[in-house]
Amino acid sequence: MSEVEEVEILLAEDSATDAEVTQRALKKANIGNPLLWVKDGAEALDFLHHRGRYAGRASARPRLVLLDLKMPKVDGIEVLRDIRATPALQTLPVVMLTSSSEESDVVRSYALGVNSYIVKPVESQKVFEEIARLGYYWLIMNRPPS
Amino acid sequence: MKILARKLVSRLSIEDAVTVAFIAALVLMCMVTLLAWYSVTHFIQSTHWVDHTHIVLETVEHAKASSDEALSVAQEFVITGDPTSMAGRDRAITDLQSSLHDLGTLTADNSAQQERLAIVNSHAVARIEFMNAVILARQTGGFEVAQRLIASGQSRGQVNQLRDLLDAMAGEERSLLRQRLLADELSQRRLIGACGALLAVVILIVGLGLFRLRRELHLRQKLADRLERKTIELQTSNKELESFSYSVSHDLRSPLRAIDSFALMLQEDYAAKLDDEGRRYIAVVRDGAQQMGRLIDDLLAFSRLGREPIDALNINPRLGAERAVREVLAAYTGTAPQILVHELPSACGDAVLLHHVWVNLIANAVKYSSKIAAPRIEIGGCIQGSEAVYFVKDNGAGFDMRYADKLFRVFQRLHGANEFPGSGVGLAIVQRVIGRHGGRVWGEGKPDHGAKFFFTLPQAAFV
């Protein structure tokens, strides 16, 4: 599965429509970095730790993790906590991409070391604009630790 | 009087009532102490009078005995002629004289007794003279002559008169003592009565004070219990509200975004395959989804601003208003109106929460004056008593004062959405934030003549 090994963006999102919108928005902004969409936090952690479905696949770590907050099984906060607690993943850029504008969620995410917190707007035009900007910033402008 | 007192008592605050009762009880207790002191002093005086009377009575008896002694010595001499008995006579006379002198000193304050004593004195002198005459007669004329002189009867009458007079003096002293003791007893009874009455009043005041205090404490305890129950209820409902708004913010927004995004994708990818009507339908779907998104956002803001704790500090409202003006104008796509921010009085409030107030009021002013030729917005304020009053005034569409009370309710709008867009939450947010600061909000307006919205803030810290 060479495509898995090339993953540069890990998108954890339980809503298929939201995932599709995000992918389309990135594609429209000409950000063609290979993206893997996982449906919950458990699968995201399986991918990052090379276990379960992703066992034995020595993929390089992604350049960016986009996390939804509310997901079945393991939610975004738990994934974030796990990433920051794992030495090999500690410096991984993680962006919360969520519908929740609750202050408590923002504070909790930053306390756990999130790199950015984006509230997805309802209005589609803005969604497309913001995701394009997000991709541009994190994948083109930003220099992550290697 | 009673009704007046009751009115006064019930009008007094519990603190004042307790203070008044305490002071009254203290003053009355002082009065009781003074009366008791007075009573004891009086009692000591009375015992002095009793002693005095007894001394007078003793002296009277002494005088009587001395006079009898003098007489019997004289008689003995007449019978025996023994000159040695004369020494007893001299001693008796000296005793009588000294007793009479003492009586004079003891009854110096009583003129009636002094008159009696004068007569006693003259009788005593006469008697001594008579006895001297008898003794002389015995010495010169012998027993027979002296016997005759005594038998002349002069002596017996004198003796009786002197005794009667001295008895009268004693009687007078006794009756004086009786009168004094009676008067003392009466005044003592009165004093005890007065002390008793005062103590009863003290007990009444202290009792009433205690009753009032207990009732107040009971009431306060009940209030505190009720408050605690209400607080717990409120916390519970706040938690429910929080989880509710959390679901709203996440679960409702997600499908809405899907609707709008996929409608947009439809527009982008399939517009060519649709006719005008089809394209209009998509536009309507997107409008609806976006309108609902804004409603949800505003409602969530409204709910959040009602729950967030207030962090009240001294603020500079002019900076807040100017920041809000910049923010509103940055988001505004039309021609910017003329906005004048006057000097604003300082106040106490939460700058973050008040920012929503300024933004909503200024955004409203900009929105409702957007359709006139020369829109002009004015922001000002002044101090009124302990409050700072601020206003945001525009010369736009205005409103009918008949519906002024509806302005601040959630989802209440006085203009149609196609006339001026909006969710009808902005002024509800304004009222909620200002209400939580302990201030008031109101609006004045006239259709097509602009609107002026006021709000007040306390000048001193209120939490």
Q: Do A21 and B257 touch (CB under 8 A)?
A: yes
pLDDT of amino acid A3: 44
- pLDDT interval class at A1 (50, 70, 90): very low
**How close is the nearest chain B Cα to the Cα of A21, in Å?**
7
Write down the pLDDT at residue A11: 96
Whole-number pLDDT of residue B295? 83
pLDDT at B59 over 80: yes
**Nearest chain B CA: its distance from A130 CA (Å):** 13
Name the residue among A69, A123, A128 with its Cβ closest to that of B293: A123
Subunit contact B260:A124, Cβ cutoff 8 A: yes
Q: Mean of the per-residue pLDDT values for chain B?
A: 86
First and final C-alpha spacing in chain A: 23
Number of A–B residue contacts, CB under 8 Å: 64
| Encoded tokens for B347 | 């106040």
Maximum Cα–Cα distance across chain B: 186
Residues B433-446 have a mean pLDDT of: 92
Flag whether A144 is in a domain: no
Among candidates B261, B296, B297 on the partner chain, residue whose Cβ is nearest the Cβ of A21: B261
Task: Indicate if the pLDDT at residue A2 is higher than 60.
Answer: no
pLDDT, tens digit, for every residue of B190-234? 888 888 888 898 899 888 888 888 998 999 999 999 999 999 998
The count of domains in chain A is: 1
CA-CA-CA-CA dihedral for A91, A95, A96, A99, to nearest 10 = 180
- Backbone angle region of B450, left / alpha / beta, with phi > 0 → left and psi within -120 to 50 → alpha: left
Q: Which amino acid is at A107?
A: V
**Confidence grade of residue B10 (pLDDT, cut at 50, 70, 90):** low
Find the mean pLDDT for residues B294-309: 80
Q: What are phi and psi of A66, to 5 degrees?
A: -105, 120
A143 inside domain? no
**What pLDDT, in 10s, does the model give residues B375-430?**
999 999 999 988 999 999 999 988 888 888 888 887 777 777 777 877 788 899 99
Given an 8 Å threshold on Cβ–Cβ distance, is A122 in contact with B290? yes
Q: CB distance B250–A99 less than 8 Å?
A: yes
Q: How far apart are the first and last CA of chain B?
A: 43
Residue A37 lies in a domain: yes
Q: Phi/psi class of residue B428: alpha, beta or left (left: φ > 0; alpha: ψ in -120 to 50)?
A: alpha
Mean pLDDT of B248-273: 87
Give the pLDDT of residue B430.
92
Name which of A15, A102, A125 is nearest B254 (Cβ-Cβ).
Answer: A15
Is A84's pLDDT higher than 90? yes
Residue B463 has pLDDT above 70, yes or no: no
Nearest to A91 by CA among A115, A67, A69: A115
Contact status of B285 with chain A (Cβ, < 8 Å)? no
Of the pLDDT bands very low, low, confident and very high (cuts 50, 70, 90), residue B3 is low
Q: In chain B, what are the domains? A: 2-216 (1.20.120.1730), 311-458 (3.30.565.10)
Average pLDDT over residues B12-20: 81
Inform me whether the C-beta atom of residue A70 falls under 8 Å from chain B C-beta atoms.
yes
Q: How do residues A121-140 score in pLDDT, each as one tens digit?
A: 888 888 899 999 999 999 99
The CA R_g of chain A, rounded to the nearest whole Å, is 14
Residue B461 has what pLDDT? 63
Q: Do B254 and A125 touch (CB under 8 A)?
A: no
Nearest by CB to B264, from A15, A70, A124: name it: A124
* Tokens (6 digits) for B41: 């002093």
State the pLDDT at residue B157.
66
Q: Residue A145: what pLDDT? A: 78
**In this complex, is the C-beta atom of B256 within 8 Å of any C-beta atom belonging to chain A?**
yes
The reported pLDDT for the residue numbered A93 is 94
For residue B300, the chain A residues in CB contact (below 8 A) are: 101
Find the helix or strand (DSSP H, E) in which A67 lies. Answer: strand A64-67
Nearest to B146 by CA among B160, B133, B129: B133
Question: CA-to-CA distance for A134 and A131, rounded, in angstroms?
Answer: 5
Residue A124 touches chain B, beta carbons under 8 Å: yes
- What is the dihedral angle through the alpha carbons of B140, B143, B148, B153, rounded to the nearest 10 degrees? 100
At residue B244, the pLDDT reads: 79
Tens-place pLDDT, residues B107-143: 888 888 888 889 888 888 888 888 888 888 888 888 8
Residue of chain B nearest A19, judged by CA positions: B258
The rounded distance, in Å, linking the Cα atoms of A103 and A90 is 24
A94 within 8 A of A114, measured Cβ to Cβ: yes
| B306, pLDDT greater than 80 | no
SS (H, E, C) chain B: CHHHHHHHHHHCCHHHHHHHHHHHHHHHHHHHHHHHHHHHHHHHHHHHHHHHHHHHHHHHHHHHHHHHHHHHHHHHHHHHCCHHHHHHHHHHHHHHHHHHHHHHHHCCCCHHHHHHHHHHHHHHHHHHHHHHHHHHHHHHHCHHHHHHHHHCCHHHHHHHHHHHHHHHHHHHHHHHHHHHHHHHHHHHHHHHHHHHHHHHHHHHHHHHHHHHHHHHHHHHHHHHHHHHHHHHHHHHHHHHHHHHHHHHHHHHHHHHHHHHHHHHHHHHHHHHHCCHHHHHHHHHHHHHHHHHHHHHHHHHHHHHHHHCCCCCEEECHHHHHHHHHHHHHHHCCCCCCEEEECCCCCEEECHHHHHHHHHHHHHHHHHHCCCCCCCEEEEEEEEECCEEEEEEEECCCCCCHHHHHHCCCCCCCCCCCCCCCCCCCHHHHHHHHHHHCCCCEEEEECCCCCEEEEEEEECCCCC
Task: Give the minimum alpha-carbon distance from B224 to chain A in angstroms, rounded to a whole number.
Answer: 31
Nearest to B96 by CA among B162, B150, B158, B51: B162
At B43 the pLDDT is: 83
Q: What is the dihedral of CA B411, B417, B420, B422, to 10 degrees?
A: 40
| % of chain B with per-residue pLDDT over 90 | 27
A84: DSSP letter: H
pLDDT the model gives residue B300: 80
Give the 3-state secondary structure of residue A9: strand
Domain holding A134: CATH number? Answer: 3.40.50.2300
Q: Please tell me the distance from the alpha carbon of residue B115 to that of residue B304, in angstroms, as a whole number.
A: 108
Is the CB of residue A117 less than 8 Å away from at least one CB of chain B?
no
Q: Mean pLDDT across the stretch B289-293?
A: 87
Chain A residues with CB inside 8 Å of B296's CB? 122
Binary contact (A17, B300; C-beta < 8 A): no
pLDDT band at B9 (very low <50, low <70, confident <90, very high): low
| Domain range enclosing A44 | 2-138
Longest dimension (CA), chain A: 41
Q: Which residues in chain B have Cβ-Cβ distances shorter than 8 Å to A127?
A: 257, 260-261
Nearest-CB residue to A123 (from B246, B260, B304): B260
Predicted confidence (pLDDT) at residue B154 exceeds the cutoff of 70? no
Contact B263 A124 (CB under 8 A): yes
Domain contains A145: no
Cα distances from A79 to residues A44, A51, A109, B246, B303, in angstroms, run: 8, 15, 11, 20, 29
Contact between B249 and A101 using a beta-carbon 8 Å cutoff: yes
* B230-249 per-position pLDDT tens digit: 999 988 888 887 777 777 76
Mark yes or no for CB contact A69/B250 under 8 Å: yes
For residue B389, the distance in angstroms to the closest alpha carbon of chain A comes to 31
The sign one gets for the Cα dihedral B199, B200, B205, B206 is: positive
> pLDDT band at B5, cuts 50/70/90?
low
Say yes or no to pLDDT of B356 above 80. Answer: yes
